[in-house]
Amino acid sequence: MACATCQNGSGTPGGCQNNGHCATGGCNKMNTYDWLAKYEFEDPTGTDIVEVSFKKGARKEFYRNHKYNPAQPRDMVVVDTGSGFDVGSISLTGELVRLQMKKKRVKEQAVSNPVVRVANDRDLDRLNEVRAREDQAMVRGRAIAVSLGLDMKICDVEYRGDGRKATFYYTAEGRVDFRELVRAYAKEFQVKIEMRQIGARQESSRIGGLGTCGRELCCSTWLTDFKSVNTHTARYQNLSINQAKLSGQCGRLKCCLNYELDTYMEALTEFPKDVDRLNFNGGTASLIKTDIFKRLLYYSVKVEKGRNTVVALLLDRVKEIKEMNDEGKLPDQLQDPNMLIEEEKLDFADVTGAIELPDVKKRKGRNRRKSGGRNQKGKNTGQRKNKQEGGNRPKQKAKEGNQPEGEKKREEGQNKKSKNQRRNRGKNRNRGSRPKDGNPPAQNNPSS
């Protein structure tokens, strides 16, 4: 079903003509719908006050429209802020402005700043120039704040349309003395500086983003009042107190926890408070879970020693058992045979069109290296190869490879000693055949 802003009801959105694929993510930021515009009548008690939106809905203020040349909704206009000029878009006119002023508690007598004229091309070019400087100014501003050792975070920077003033939005745990920081900013950017502290929820509303639901954040699209959210809202809705799941982009509890709280509170009025335990002939049942909208209460019942089962009871049956327990009576069984609960079987359709491939069992050891020392399978083969290759080698060398270094050194020393002994024996033999005086020995005369 197409919305009212689509082109000819075809489903293609109008607006910036980007066909639903906005690169900036700010087309829907704080949009307003003039529901009185479709009625063809003039308001005799109309007002000349208009609502002007700045920086795509990040900030909205009220101004007096031009008396003789009034601007129309969605027109870019130049307004007088009292200390300079700014450029914005008219978001609301007529009776709806009064409703917004009543909501924000702004009196008509307090609105005095006028709309000067409709913005021309030169004004829009100047506005685009100062908007392009905001990101660089934010990065530089964060660096200066860190260098001064201030415990604060610069979230956003907004330049005025004339480029003579810059507003720095920051978050901090407590109060920050930024007098020196303002002087450093004024010296760095050469403009008038205004510091404005905001909360964590306002920070996320200005930056924007996507929530866990897949849609844009409520605070950056339509939510303007930030009500307090505590853990009691999650407990009333039987949600698990999980900080990671209950927190939003801002780090606080999600604002959407308050949306269905009234419905839950109204439904809980029918549930009795003292039904945590129910007695029957088979023992005692303890309450473990409550399904509020299905009007079901789940009880844990002890069947055997160390074994329990879960029984779902309707709210009327629980009230009946509670009345019997108050009278001192015990029912034969928890569930009423005339009031059986049929479980709904949900059939989920494949809307994604994805193809699920079957799991392929990987072969073990396919990618392993076939090494004799590492693989258990290849151990025996490696040993066999070594035996075959080393079968012709002498046993002494194979033993030497497995001997420790100490034993090797001892064997080398013994071998050297044996060699020296052999040499000495040979020398002694040669010396013993000669006399000590050096004369050659006398030859025996066989004739004598």
The answer to whether residue 387 sits within a structural domain is: no
Residues of the chain above pLDDT 70, percent:
68
Q: How far apart, in whole angstroms, are the C-alpha atoms of residue 117 and residue 85?
A: 11
Do residues 166 and 193 both lie within one domain? yes
What tokens were used for 313? 């009871």
Number of domains in the chain: 3
Nearest 10 degrees: Cα torsion 48, 53, 57, 58: -120
Using a 10 angstrom Cβ sphere, with 0-12 exposed, 13-18 middle and 19 or more buried, the burial of residue 346 is exposed
Do residues 186 and 217 both lie within one domain? no
Neighbours of 241 (CB within 10 A): 9
Residues of the chain above pLDDT 90, percent:
16
Do residues 298 and 255 both lie within one domain? no
Do residues 135 and 185 both lie within one domain? yes
Do residues 132 and 188 both lie within one domain? yes
The answer to whether residue 322 sits within a structural domain is: yes
Integer CA distances (angstroms), 335 to 226, 282, 296, 320, 390, in order: 45, 12, 12, 11, 82
The reported pLDDT for the residue numbered 78 is: 92
**Residue 144: is its pLDDT beyond 90?**
yes
The answer to whether residue 231 sits within a structural domain is: yes
The reported pLDDT for the residue numbered 68 is: 80
The answer to whether residue 151 sits within a structural domain is: yes
Listed residues 198, 229, 259: the one ending a domain: 198
**Residue 226: is its pLDDT beyond 70?**
yes
Contact 48, 60 (CB under 8 A): no
Q: Cα-flanking dihedrals φ and ψ of residue 123, to 5°?
A: -65, -40
Listed residues 289, 305, 326: the one ending a domain: 326
Integer CA distances (angstroms), 215 to 33, 113, 220, 221, 391, in order: 20, 37, 11, 10, 76
**Residue 143: is its pLDDT beyond 90?**
yes
What residue numbers bound the domain in which 228 lies? 206-268
What tokens were used for 296? 């079901």
Mean pLDDT taken over the chain: 77
**Residue at 403: amino acid letter:** Q
CB contact set of 145 (below 8 Å; sequence gap of 6+): 152, 153, 154, 170, 181
Q: How far apart, in whole angstroms, are the C-alpha atoms of residue 410 and residue 175?
A: 82
The answer to whether residue 368 sits within a structural domain is: no
The answer to whether residue 6 sits within a structural domain is: no
The reported pLDDT for the residue numbered 182 is: 92
Do residues 254 and 292 both lie within one domain? no
Express each pLDDT in 196-212 by its tens digit: 998 888 888 888 888 88
Express each pLDDT in 243-265 by its tens digit: 888 998 888 899 999 998 999 98
The answer to whether residue 370 sits within a structural domain is: no
**Residue 72: is its pLDDT beyond 90?**
no
Express each pLDDT in 401-414 by its tens digit: 455 565 666 667 77
Contact 44, 59 (CB under 8 A): no
The reported pLDDT for the residue numbered 436 is: 47
What tokens were used for 257? 């926890």
Listed residues 164, 198, 232: the one ending a domain: 198
Express each pLDDT in 291-302 by its tens digit: 888 888 888 888
CATH no. for residue 145? 3.30.300.20
The answer to whether residue 187 sits within a structural domain is: yes
Q: Which residues, in sequence order, are bridge partners of residue 411? A: none
